[in-house]
Chain A
């Protein structure tokens, strides 16, 4: 606890130091270097807390008679590890990447504050501290989103983000208010001990789902995420996507599993439904994006959906007292959180490197970067393979565990769950397949082929420190995929109290095999699969190289064998997405294409226009926006009344209240 406290204080000092140091070149080193150290300390403390008894600390600040309660238990520790890993990676990357900042004064002070806010959320042990840290996290990240405020799109993203963050904070405030009850027990220990009436608990659950879901990016509360995450500087995008969404997941787990006690089956159905829809919606959006960072942000929505499906499974099993299933699903959820932190941080760093190298995030202006950015290309390949859930990388391990939980198919008594499980399995399978397509597209268009613009042709590799950060994360992705048993064992003490059991001990298995329930029901061995893939790929490459190279003959270039030299003739991102857009987009997003062919003899180019609408925005947000605009238009008159009329309003209100008082007596 002392370590954590020191790290938090250090982050606070760095946030203050960021203001005067922003003008100097050393500022970057001090702030990001200091954040790196603080994150490593948080990581260390989180690891130590995993199998240690909970530690508490009460500070004499905050709400009167309550103080600020902090608590470091296994669940906090697990998420502190995520914050530490993600934060350390982003800080390391930023030491190099920060030199490209347009206005460092707009980033440096808020960056450590953002990290401290996230760490404080997972440590908070009373509602006031939790909400304070939650809002600190929201506001600091909002300031970071607005760092490059010049484009109109950023201002809009910032506004939408602020509205949604406020909404999320409000929902959580109400949820805690309900949990605290009439006596106002705002300390989490009091909430755990209280047993609210079923309808209050249900309402608090719904509010917690809305409040944390809005932060995590759960459909239909995800609208801000594809706008805000790409607008921030790349290392901040990595933090927002890789870490902040996990902090939201933490909030949900803390409230639902810890404060509310045992989950109910209808709650599980709700979470499963929303999670499945979110996964498919996110990946469908991602596969159609042209902007690299937006694509990554949409893919974050997909991964949050997967995590929530796993959490929903854990709730369903827990509600029916199936400890093994609950432990499996909850472990899988936490494992996937870790994995997403790793590969999404990596991929956002890659997008930052590409942005610096070429000055653009538009897929249609990139291409062929594998020749110009070899190190980045390797790291990106690992990240794309991991997020596409290809073995032997980490994405496969956690998604495989989730599928094992879906396929466990125990006898769940509730019809809602019986119907929901196969549906979710199908949605997850669809999302996984589409995610693979999405990242084949992303990698292929950005790194393979020929450059689609002069900037891409003249790209140059980023600095050493940024490259090192990317390689470290690529290595972590590979390690977590090759040795998933270690992660699962480390998560066991986190899962134990909430699932009522744990997964089988993985440490004793031969060859580091991953055993979800028992060895007879299917196992996975990342190491062996990895060795096999490596060996067979090397063998294939050697054979092709030997036989294929020998078959190579040089001959005069004949135009038939040489493609059109213009890069426009390549397969483009839009053409890759077109089949998927036609199959799924027509139904889900009203995607339409219109071809404008010139008349015969006309020399102008043919134009193809495509359009897509977001049903969530159209059905949910647009009506609310229209309503708010109409009401405020109507209320606008009130701003230009005479003094006497204002006085008259006050007077009339007073009279009405007094009359009401008289009548009510």
Chain B
């Protein structure tokens, strides 16, 4: 039983990393949002599996939250925003997909290299989870750095946050309060960012953050 449960946990966490890679090269915003929903879905499955093997019923709540908010509500809302902004057909120039993918692979290698020796004494499930979660976080950050569109930066941020949740649930005994507060903080951040998107758009007729830089550069 232990071997199987470990393998499944490992597989789910690995899938999360895989979906992160998937998101790295999505140039269409709608496709990116679908990938985000998939990301959250995998996260929910992973958390639910953790709830099962750790025998921690409160983690089911976390999984349900991830499923409800992250896999359904937020992608749906972002999709509405994208349609209302009329940028659903836009193709974003990510630039050097191959290079980005290579960088992502290097990040995964780095996080494994960092995490596995540090957590040598820990439970193997938690070890793998934490190492893979760190790679999800780093890839999310990489996405935020490489994208120019504000919506895709938000998506990068949300995937980063998913990585944090994965790390939190992998460790035993994480209180529910912490998870719920993290979830709510993300929701608030999402609302704020959503409002900002419209404000930016109102002023600059685009959500390309380059326009913001140009505006600031004029005053510098």
Interface positions of A (Cβ within 8 A of B): 639-640, 642-644, 647-648, 650-651, 654-655, 658-659, 661-662, 665
Contacts and interface: CB of A to CB of B under 8 A. Distances in A.
B173 interface: no
A654 B209 contact: no
B144 interface: yes
B88 interface: no
Sorted nearest first, the 5 A-B pairs with minimum C-beta distance are: A640-B220, A642-B213, A648-B145, A651-B141, A647-B145
A654 B140 CA distance: 13
B148 A644 contact: yes
A218 to B, nearest CB: 43
A640 B110 contact: no
Contacts of B216: 640
Nearest to B142: A651
B111 interface: yes
Contact of A662 (B110, B209, B210, B212): B110
A541 B210 CA distance: 90
A632 to B, nearest CB: 16
Interface string B108-130: 00110110011000000000000
Given A640-B220, A642-B209, A642-B213, A647 B141 contact: yes
Contacts of A642: 209-210, 212-213
A655 B148 CA distance: 21
B98 interface: no
Contacts of B144: 644, 647, 651
Identify which of B113, B117, B118 gathers the most chain A CB atoms within 10 Å of its CB.
Answer: B113
Interface string B201-218: 000000001101100110
Contacts of A650: 141
B48 interface: no
A640 B217 contact: yes
A639 B216 CA distance: 11
A643 B209 contact: yes
Given A640-B217, A640-B220, A644-B209, A658 B142 contact: no
Contact of B145 (A639, A644, A658, A659): A644
Given A642-B213, A658-B111, A662-B114, 19 more contacts: A639-B220, A640-B217, A640-B220, A642-B209, A643-B209, A643-B213, A644-B144, A644-B145, A644-B209, A647-B144, A650-B141, A654-B138, A654-B141, A659-B110, A661-B114, A662-B110, A662-B113, A665-B117, A665-B118
Nearest to A657: B114
B145 A651 contact: yes
Chain A interface, DSSP helix/strand/loop, else mixed: helix
Contacts of B113: 662
A658 B141 contact: no
Interface residues on B, range: 20 to 34
Identify which of B118, B145, B210, B216 gathers the most chain A CB atoms within 10 Å of its CB.
Answer: B145
A644 B217 CA distance: 14
A661 B107 CA distance: 14
B149 to A, nearest CB: 11
B110 A658 contact: yes
Interface of B: 107, 110-111, 113-114, 117-118, 138, 141-142, 144-145, 148, 209-210, 212-213, 216-217, 220
Nearest to A665: B117
11 contacts: A639-B220, A640-B220, A642-B209, A643-B213, A651-B141, A651-B142, A651-B145, A655-B107, A655-B110, A659-B110, A662-B110
Contacts of A662: 110, 113-114
B112 to A, nearest CB: 10
Contacts of B118: 661, 665
A642 B210 CA distance: 8
Contacts of A655: 107, 110, 138
A651 B148 CA distance: 16
A658 B131 CA distance: 12
Contacts of A661: 114, 118
A327 to B, nearest CB: 60
Contacts of B141: 647, 650-651, 654
Contacts of A640: 216-217, 220
Contacts of B107: 655
A643 B200 CA distance: 14
Nearest to B107: A655
Contacts of B212: 642-643
A661 to B, nearest CB: 5
Nearest to B146: A644
Contacts of A639: 220
B13 to A, nearest CB: 19
Nearest to A649: B145
A642 B217 CA distance: 9
A332 B148 CA distance: 73
A659 B111 CA distance: 9
Contacts of A659: 110
B154 to A, nearest CB: 12
B146 to A, nearest CB: 8
B204 to A, nearest CB: 13
A531 B199 CA distance: 88
Nearest to B220: A640
A596 to B, nearest CB: 47
B209 A658 contact: no
Contacts of B110: 655, 658-659, 662
A647 B213 CA distance: 14
A648 B145 CA distance: 6
B61 to A, nearest CB: 31
B65 to A, nearest CB: 27
Nearest to A646: B145
A644 B147 CA distance: 8
A662 B115 CA distance: 9
A599 B28 CA distance: 86
A368 to B, nearest CB: 59
A588 to B, nearest CB: 46
A96 to B, nearest CB: 53
Nearest to A661: B114
A474 to B, nearest CB: 61
Nearest to A660: B114
Contacts of B142: 651
Contacts of B114: 658, 661-662
Nearest to A636: B220
Nearest to B112: A662
Identify which of A643, A650, A659, A661 gathers the most chain B CB atoms within 10 Å of its CB.
Answer: A643
A651 B107 CA distance: 11
A665 B113 CA distance: 10
A659 B106 CA distance: 11
A658 B113 CA distance: 9
A658 B148 CA distance: 26
B40 to A, nearest CB: 22
Contacts of A651: 141-142, 144-145
